[in-house]
Structures are given as structure tokens and as C-alpha cells.
Structure 1
């Protein structure tokens, strides 16, 4: 009798409505799926059909309570068992259902995003209670709002609805810089929650790791943090590789066929070399592209033909850029590397989108240092044949001018305006920057652009040297 009553109510509910058709069809087939009822209710609310939305929210029950942080409404004529109504409290968030039926989301159009290929990076931390392969298949998002329950709840909804998670996904809160205009990459983020696939592919486990954002007793974040740390180390290398491929494509008009093309001898040294993880990323993606190639023509290799028609992101299996993500989510380190120099506070930062990846103190020349947008047009190791000369051990020319970013034999001048216009850096800092940025990187110089924090790699990032980057045939006369 109860089943017949449910079918009759469904029939009457859908009798006159044509939209949103895809959700309605799913709920007809799966009337006990509370996530589907909740999504349908949100769709009706957006259309201003609040009566129908109310009915859906009632059917959604605890799913509604979890996402809306309040008890599910009760339309007139709907009877609830006493035990259910008694369970309701103002802390509906704390009862957020741990197992979410992902099959619902698949039906409404979630596209599967291939995971990055397995990586091999030294000093990767072990995963407590986790399969070591999980980091390679993990996705990490930053919440674009604050740590309040509303922002986190909205971000979680977007993760579940629009972004199909792999075996493990993490939502984190990136720490803002002092001026709150940027996110600091090297400042460990707060891990808010993780979503882990279970053996049953139709279910996922949600675990909360931050008491402030969930107003709950958080679970142990050890596994999530270990996976995040491994992911972050690999993410930096993926970012450098994507930026280098983009720089190579701007310079040559085509994508590299082999990764060695990124580290040719001076003056074509986009990068000094690549790490083993970067090599594996490139090779694995090239192999994947080749398997989908049509029959090659005119003697052109299949891999070459394919790679010459892809973006830098596609060339290394990257996520979409931050702007393409659903509202409320940020995919860290997806935009190409850029350099920003602030003449007011003597800072040089390496950024990806709105995230500061590194921040260094620099010496400048006050009004003698030009402002505007430049690019790294030349990279040279040991300019003028030595590492301890006036330009230090590294030099990077700005747009074929007499200005450069370089080391110095006057380290006390860093933080001051004593140069003739160039940008001076300390030895360890300039060597890390040199290894991370591809030739062709954009450089913006201005005032009032940056916070004052200094954030270096610990330990400093070092790229393997696979090429010759010296230029003994030239005497450099930058405006030191």
C-alpha cells in the first residue's frame, strides 16, 4: 500500500511539469535516492517553484539538513514518524551523510577526468593507512570562499555535482597572504575534508578534518595530509612542465615531440632539464595521445601530429584552468608561471594565477628600474664565465634589453635601491628561480602589487642539469 501511495504522489507531482526533465526522469526511476530529490528541489527553487521545491526537500530528508544546515521542511499533509522529527536539531551539518550515491551525479552529466600517470619523486612521504598509488590519482581543490560552513558546504556540493572525484579528493583552505590579495602556496593549507571512493564505485566516504568549518569533532587528517604533501610536490613539477611547454609552443609554434626539446643547449634552454616525474608525465601523455591518433600522413609521426594540435594542459594531462571550475572551487597551480616585481617593497614573486608559489627579497634601482611587462628572453648560467662575479651565478635578460634579473656580489644591497636598474637577488634565491621558470616567462614590474612575506622553497627546488647553459662568447654588461 505504501509503495502505491508513493507512486501516486510521484505521478501527481510530475504530471504538469516538463523541467528540469533530466532530474525528474532520474527521480522517477530512483524515488528513494535522497540526493536526487535534493538536487531537484534546488532546481525548482531556482525556477521560483517553491511548493514543488518544498516537497523535494522533504523527500531529501537528512541530505537537505546536511547541505542547508537546518531541519528539512514538512509540507502540509506529510506525516513523519516521531523518531525522525525528534532527531532534528539545529546542528544538521553534523549529520552530513557520509556515503553519497555518486551514480546519481553520473546520470546528470559529470565528465570523468583522467588521472595523472603514476609518478616517481624522491622523498615522497609514505601514506598512513593508504595505498601509495592514491596520491597519483588524488584531486585537490581550494575553497574560494572562507572556512565558514556555508562556503565549505557550497564547495562540497560543487565537488560532488560537477567534479567527479577520483579515488581520493581533498578540499583545502589556502592561507591568504598578509594583504589578503593572494593565496600562499608554501603556507600549509587547512585540510577541510576528504572524499574517498569505496570498493563499491557507487559510494564515497566524506571525512571532515577541520573543526572550525564543520562545527564537529574532526577525524584524523594524517592520511589526507600525507597525500596532500606528495601531491603538492608533484604539482609544482607539473606546473613547471606545463609552463615550459607553453613557452616552447609560443617560441616555435609547435609542441615538443620529446621532452629533451625543452632543455636544449643555450640559447634554446627553456629549462635546465626535467625531473624523473616530469619525464614520466610527458612520456605517458604522449603515449596516451598516440593511441588515439589517426593513421599518420606525409611521413609525420603519429605522436608528433597529435602533440602539435594540443594545448600545454592537454600535453601533460592537466586539469582545466581555475576559471573553468564550478563556482566555489579553485584548482591550484593550473595557470602558467609568471614573475611579479614590486618596487615599493623590494619583492619578486613567482605566481600561478592568484597563488604565490615563491617570494624573494630583491635589490632594485628605484626610478632606474623600469616598470611594465617584459619576458625572460635569455637564461645564462655563470654569466661572464664565473659564478662569483658582479652578476652572480645566474642571469635572466628582460626582453632583450640591458636589464636583467641576476645574482650579485653585493648581497647587502638586496632590499635596497642601489642597482643601475637591474633586479639583484641572493645566490640561493636566483638559482631556485632560474631552475623553476622557463625562458619566455612573463615579468611584470610595478608598485604596490605584492605583500611583504618572503617564502622560499625548503629545501630549495633544484632542477637536474641536462644541457649547456653557459655562453662564453658574450661579455654581459647589464645595468648592474
Structure 2
């Protein structure tokens, strides 16, 4: 029954996102908008606007995050069994990870540190991007596994519903802030194809 409810939620979200843009392959740093990594970046005009209601709520399970990669959907099953579904961006082809892990830490207004491979591909990337509108992690980050894989906000909300990241899971700002308040360290995370 739980699987049927999750499938129905994912199918509903997939139907609403059928017109999502799918990005083609590009360099690791390209999805963060860094033509000039030291320049000033303004947030998109609608970044602070409230998002439409897109979280169907049903009953099932408890205390788990389930990420349906193909459906670009993250479902948080609360300890009371309520399911909260959110649209997300996932990793590009070759940058996706599947399996079971858990939340190891959380940070408000996180810094972004490009990985060594990103810096090799673009040496102009800064060592760190401080919190603010140009930060690719947005306002909240939920760290998984060894701390390199994250559920986080974004400075590019138009990427939600696409395969756009270097492996992490991006969420709208309001959604990641809501999820951040509910999720605890140790929460189980299941990433499905």
C-alpha cells in the first residue's frame, strides 16, 4: 500500500512537470552560472516569490526521505506517516547516485566549496562562495553520507524538475527551508532510480 501511495504521488508530480526543461551535458561549473566567478550575481527575479502549492499530502511510512530520481521528486515521510512531496533537480547523466544513506548534518546559510574536479575544470572558481544570492547551495543544506552529497536550495530555481546538478538534490528555497526544520540528523534517505 505504501508503494502504491508513493507511486501515485510520483505519477501526479511527473504529470505536472511534463514540460520541464532538460539540460544537455555541460561542464561541472556551468550549472552554477560562473562565467566570472568573482563577479556579482543577482538572484533570479522570482527567487523570493512564494511557490505554488505542489505538495500532495497522504498517509504512510515514517521518518524517511525517499528520492525518486526519474520523477524529480523528494518525498519526506514524517514520523506520523504524513507524506510531503517536493519537486527537485537531480544529477546530470553520469553524476547520479542511488542507494540508502542518512542525514549526517545540516547547515543554515552554508558556504559552497567547489570540489577538486570542478576546480581542475575551471581554475577560476573561488575556493569558497560565502552565503548570499550567488551561493549555489541556497539558504539551507542537508548533508548526506560522507558530507559531499547534499539536499540543498539553489540560486537557479529554473533548474528544478531537471537533471542539472553535479549529483546533489536541489530544491526551491521555501521547500528546503521547510524540509530543513523537519528533518533530523540520522534520518534515513533512500535514493531510487
TM-score, length basis structure 1:
0.24
Any conservation in 1 of the 2:62–2:82 contact (CA below 8 Å)?
no
Separation in 1, partners of 2:8, 2:174: 27
How far off its partner does 1:357 sit? Answer: 2.0
Aligned residue runs from structure 1 range 174-213, under 5 A = 177=5, 179-180=7-8
Separation in 2, partners of 1:410, 1:344: 20
Any conservation in 1 of the 2:63–2:81 contact (CA below 8 Å)?
no
Match of 1:434 among 177, 180, 186: 180
Q: Does 1:376 align with 2:103?
A: yes
1:337 is matched with 63
Tell me how large the CA RMSD over aligned residues is. Answer: 2.9
Unaligned runs of 5+ in 1: 1-143, 145-175, 183-331, 448-480
How far off its partner does 1:416 sit? Answer: 0.5
Separation in 2, partners of 1:392, 1:369: 20
Separation in 1, partners of 2:80, 2:184: 19
Separation in 2, partners of 1:340, 1:440: 14
Any conservation in 2 of the 1:378–1:400 contact (CA below 8 Å)?
no
Q: Does 1:415 align with 2:140?
A: no
Q: How many residues align?
A: 124
Aligned residue runs from structure 1 range 227-266, under 5 A = none
Separation in 2, partners of 1:398, 1:358: 19
1:279-309: CA deviation from partner (whole Å, max 9, x where unpaired)? xxxxxxxxxxxxxxxxxxxxxxxxxxxxxxx
How far off its partner does 1:433 sit? Answer: 0.2
TM-score, length basis structure 2:
0.57
2:54 is matched with none
Unaligned runs of 5+ in 2: 11-58, 112-129
How far off its partner does 1:179 sit? Answer: 4.2
Separation in 2, partners of 1:443, 1:336: 12
Separation in 2, partners of 1:351, 1:435: 14
How far off its partner does 1:181 sit? Answer: 8.1
Q: Secondary structure at the match of 1:392?
A: coil
Q: Secondary structure at the match of 2:177?
A: helix
How far off its partner does 1:349 sit? Answer: 0.5
2:51 is matched with none
- Bigger radius of gyration: 1
Higher relative contact order (CA 8 A, sep 6+): 2
More helix by share: 1
Separation in 2, partners of 1:416, 1:339: 19
Separation in 2, partners of 1:350, 1:359: 6
How far off its partner does 1:340 sit? Answer: 0.4
1:355-387: CA deviation from partner (whole Å, max 9, x where unpaired)? 552100000114312100011101000002424
